[in-house]
Amino acid sequence: MSLDFGFIYTAFLGLFSALPNTLIITVVSVLAGLVIGIITALARIYKVPVLSQISHGYVTFIRGTPMLMHLLLIYFSLPLFIDAGARHFGWSFHSKDVPYMVFALISFSITSGAYMSEVVRSGIQSVNRGQIEAAYAVGMTTWQVLRRIVFPQAFVVSLPNLTNSVIGMLHGSTLAFTVSVTEIQAQAEILASTNWKYLEVYIAAALIFWGLTVLIERISGLVEKKINVFNGGRAS
Amino acid sequence: MSREFNIDYVFSFIPKMLSYLHITLFIVASSLLLGLIIGLLVALPRMYNIPFLKRVSQVYVSFFRGTPILIQLFLVYYGLPELLKLVNINSSRWDVLWFAVATYALNSGAFISEIIRSGVEAVDRGQIEAAQSVGMSGYQTFTRIILPQALAVVVPVFSNLVIANLKDTSLAFTIGAMEMTGKSQTLGAATQHFVETYIALSLIYLVVSLILQKLFKVLENTLLKHEHRDTVQSEPKKRKSFVVRYLNPRLSKGGKSI
């Protein structure tokens, strides 16, 4: 096998220029997803009339279809809406002024939101109902109950799922290459096709992702340990 | 970018894509089957603490869980022919489908080995000791005590894996495999009606994954029958919710999230 080990290192350095985009996609989609997830999860837990049905449909659809579909649907349909709006209201910007990155961020946030919704829901439902009733009994408002009693405990329980979601979004960010966002996968394709060294480049890309994933798992492990100390080791 | 939206295209695309559904399902089924074999082989050294092999299997699992499936597809696509060349096999005329199957098999192997491990570990050690003390052999203990309980615990996680696998197959088009997504690319390019193509494709994926979910739910209920038997009168629901609420979050570490 003719593997150019020197080039793996070169590719490794070359791929680092695309790392910020990968991280931006991951962080933004996880944070936006968390906001969407909390809203949809609360809507479903409190059975808010119309909102809970919409949330249920949204979560089912997103979890039942590949992430690639969400990206391509947003990428091809959002411009139609923007251009229709521009024609109708006389906006000064058109779909071609929107950077590709924006489409990726919107679509990944929507994807992540559905998965986060399930993470948040299972976390919140793991909190003992008696505690919530007790909190109400001592006169806390719903917001206080959520903030002081439910969320801290739900966070501990859902940390492993949360970590999985973060890793899932990190890995999912590789799909952004389909809409021409230069993240690691796209950069790898560029490097590979200009140097004709495909295997080496993808080995380097895999090493970067592997390293990032292990790092995220380590950090999550440390956080888990910290929280469990705080909880007297009875977190889960 | 693409032409005016026309709902008729969605309906005309669905049958065209459905004719490629069997390839998608073939990838899912064959990769799961191979993954089951790989997973078992990988889980064994870790469960029985075999010195060197244990490390190898740890690295394998960590690698395939720690890298995106897209990168794995390209690694296998470019790497496997090189490896096969070492043993004098020329793979240049193979169908790309086989590279997709190989990737998904290696990928699910890593996840399945974790599922097997967590399933076996979920069975109370005392039960195993009890089985041995009444004179059961190792094989009998496994098939009569461990397997039935481990299966019941593992089914929800396995169902997640199967559905994740189904969705992951949408990436096989990147190496040129002609499954549903690959077909949708050509349909979209030919008609310039991309939105309709992807709506049609999403609907197919949605329906297939909902059907799979239902099937696994039925299977899960059948396997959990023994959990209900002694508690039917008092608290029929509590027993099941225990499994769902406490074991699932712990085991979900073995499943993919997206």
Report CB contact under 8 Å: B71, A73. no
The region of weakest confidence among A123-132, B21-30, B32-41, B55-64 is: A123-132
pLDDT tens per residue across span A21-41: 999 999 999 999 999 999 999
Task: Please name the member of B1, B171, B201 whose beta carbon is closest to the beta carbon of A95.
Answer: B1
Q: Which of B17, B24, B71 to mutate to test the interface with A (most CBs of A within 10 A)?
A: B71
Task: Please name the member of B62, B171, B209 whose beta carbon is closest to the beta carbon of A214.
Answer: B62
Report CB contact under 8 Å: A65, B71. no
Q: Tell whether B82 lies on the interface with A, counting CB pairs under 8 A.
A: yes
Asked if A111 contacts A62 with a C-beta cutoff of 8 angstroms, the reply is yes
Report CB contact under 8 Å: A1, B167. no
Residue B257 has pLDDT above 80, yes or no: no
In angstroms, the first-to-last Cα distance of chain A is 49
Q: Tell whether A215 lies on the interface with B, counting CB pairs under 8 A.
A: no
Asked if A140 contacts A63 with a C-beta cutoff of 8 angstroms, the reply is no
Handedness of CA A210, A68, A188, A79 (dihedral sign): negative
pLDDT tens per residue across span B83-98: 888 888 888 888 899 9
Q: How many CB pairs under 8 A join A and B?
A: 143
- The pLDDT-based confidence of B231 (bands split at 50, 70, 90) is very low
3-class SS of residue A236: coil
Which chain B residue is nearest to residue A114, measuring alpha carbons? B258
Task: Please name the member of B181, B198, B249 whose beta carbon is closest to the beta carbon of A122.
Answer: B249
**Selected residues 140-169 of chain A with any CB under 8 Å from a CB in chain B:** 157-158, 160-161, 164-165, 167-169
Task: Please name the member of A69, A115, A161 whose beta carbon is closest to the beta carbon of B249.
Answer: A161
Report CB contact under 8 Å: A73, B210. no
Joined together, the tokens standing for residue B132 give 């041995």
Query: Average pLDDT, stretch A162-175?
Result: 93
Q: Tell whether B248 lies on the interface with A, counting CB pairs under 8 A.
A: yes
- The pLDDT-based confidence of A234 (bands split at 50, 70, 90) is low
Q: Tell whether B198 lies on the interface with A, counting CB pairs under 8 A.
A: yes
Return the pLDDT at B239.
46
Separation between Cα atoms, residue A155 and residue A152, nearest integer Å: 5
Q: Which residues of A touch B71 (CB under 8 A)?
A: 174, 185, 188, 202, 205-206, 209
Task: Please name the member of A79, A169, A199 whose beta carbon is closest to the beta carbon of B1.
Answer: A79
Q: Which of A62, A68, A120, A234 to mutate to test the interface with B (most CBs of B within 10 A)?
A: A68
Return the pLDDT at B256.
60
Return the pLDDT at B233.
46
C-alpha distances in Å from residue A48, one per residue of A44, A53, A103, A119, A144: 7, 8, 30, 19, 19
Q: Tell whether B238 lies on the interface with A, counting CB pairs under 8 A.
A: no
Which chain B residue is nearest to residue A118, measuring alpha carbons? B257
Q: Tell whether B168 lies on the interface with A, counting CB pairs under 8 A.
A: yes
What is the tally of helices (H) and strands (E) in chain B?
13, 0
Residue B80 has pLDDT above 80, yes or no: yes
More confident residue, B213 or B230: B213
Return the pLDDT at B24.
94
pLDDT tens per residue across span B116-171: 988 888 888 888 889 989 999 888 888 888 888 888 888 888 999 999 999 999 99
Report CB contact under 8 Å: A236, B250. yes
Return the pLDDT at A231.
64
Report CB contact under 8 Å: A210, B63. yes
Q: Tell whether A203 lies on the interface with B, counting CB pairs under 8 A.
A: yes
- Whose tokens are 């491990």? That residue is B117
Residue A235 has pLDDT above 50, yes or no: no
Q: Which residues of A touch B253 (CB under 8 A)?
A: 160, 164
Which chain A residue is nearest to residue B69, measuring alpha carbons? A171
Nearest to B159 by CA among B248, B228, B62, B27: B248
Return the pLDDT at A70.
94
Which chain A residue is nearest to residue B201, measuring alpha carbons? A69
Asked if B73 contacts B47 with a C-beta cutoff of 8 angstroms, the reply is no
C-alpha distances in Å from residue B133, one per residue of A131, B124, B127: 43, 15, 10
- How far is C-alpha A39 from the chain's CA centre? 15
Q: Which of A121, A179, A210 to mutate to test the interface with B (most CBs of B within 10 A)?
A: A210
